[in-house]
Amino acid sequence: MALKTKTSTRIGVTILAWGIALWLFFPIFWMILTSFKSDVQAISSPPKLVFMPTLSSYAEVFERASYWHFALNTMIVSVGATAIAIALAVPAAYSMAFMPSKRTRSTLLWMLSTRMLPPVGVLVPIYLLARNTHLLDTCTGLAIVDMLTNLPIIVWMLYTFFREVPAPILEAGRMDGATRWQEMTMVLLPLALPGIASTALLSLILCWNEAFWSLNLTSSNAAPLTAFIASFSSPEGLFFGKLSAASTLAVAPILIFGWISQKQLVRGLTFGAVK
């Protein structure tokens, strides 16, 4: 493989990358732009790029719904689901990474394969389970479901990170008299902390954006921001200004959070791949 790529190739790749990035970012950009328009401006055709920005959509959104109620629910569910998932995944990934058996790899693959099932396939059983355990429209219920959907990915990611920690370091801990628990908490966790942080970050983002279960398992008490957006989408016709303002409000925290932590996130996501 050539070490130096040709300049023309590099320029081509750069243009392509920017193109894709802009393509992906455009809807978000358009949403933010629209949120500063009035509902009338929002549906004007052709769409206006130059207009008098207004905060009227935001004012109406705040007037109609309690943003903070939804935001708090999202935060509780995301943080709760992530914390429980990490707590369960660390021991699981630890045993798979350092005490693998013949079936470890197939177990990992099987776990990941459950992510490929369309969630709607288990909607009825999960809904009934939640109803019978009185977890419908509770943060606990939604957090448990979010946690379970993300657990396979989290175990897989932690497994990859743990595999990078040289086994003799843990064995040295064992020789020094550490119990399995101490070996995990005092030797492995500090070493794998960057990886655990990126995993938690990813889990937070996935939970924050999760809509399917939020919409189906909550109504008012535990409704998170995704339900908040949905509540602006139809009943009285389409008000794109308000819808955009609500959406912007819902994704802003995680967008800012993701922006701040993007270095960590990218490092984490490419960890196993780039050696």
Partner 1 sequence: MATVELKNLRKTYLTEEIIKGISLSIEEREFVVFVGPSGCGKSTLLRMIAGLEDITSGDLLIDGQRVNDVEPGKRGLAMVFQSYALYPHMDVYKNMEFGLKLAGMPEAERRAKIEHVARTLQLEPYLHHKPGQLSGGQRQRVAIGRAIVRNPKVFLFDEPLSNLDAALRGQMRVELSALHRKLGATTIYVTHDQVEAMTMADKIVVLQKGVVEQIGSPLELYHHPRNLFVARFIGSPPMNFFSAIFQGGDAAGSSVQLRDGSTLHVPVTSPGLLPGTKVTVGIRPEHVELASSGPNSGVVEVIERLGAITLVHVRMPDGEIIVVQTDGAVLTDVETRVSLTLPPRNCHLFAPDGLAFEACHRHPLAA
Residues in touch with partner 1 (CB under 8 A)? 102, 166, 168-169, 171-179, 182, 186-187, 190-191
CB of 187 or CB of 243, closer to partner 1: 187
Q: What is the DSSP string of 44-81?
A: -SSPPSS-----HHHHHHHHHS-HHHHHHHHHHHHHHH
CB of 126 or CB of 187, closer to partner 1: 187
Token digits for 259?
């922006």
CB of 40 or CB of 167, closer to partner 1: 167
Token digits for 239?
């008000």
Least CB distance to partner 1 at residue 266 (A): 23
Least CB distance to partner 1 at residue 8 (A): 40
Cα 104 from Cα 121, distance rounded (Å) = 27
Q: How far is CA 97 from CA 22, 24, 131, 198, 275, in A?
A: 39, 36, 37, 18, 18
185 C-beta neighbours (distance < 10 Å), count: 13
CB–CB of 67/228 below 8 Å?
A: yes
CB of 180 or CB of 267, closer to partner 1: 180
Least CB distance to partner 1 at residue 191 (A): 6
The residue among 70, 83, 76 whose CA lies nearest residue 141 is 76
Least CB distance to partner 1 at residue 195 (A): 13
Least CB distance to partner 1 at residue 174 (A): 5
CB of 137 or CB of 171, closer to partner 1: 171
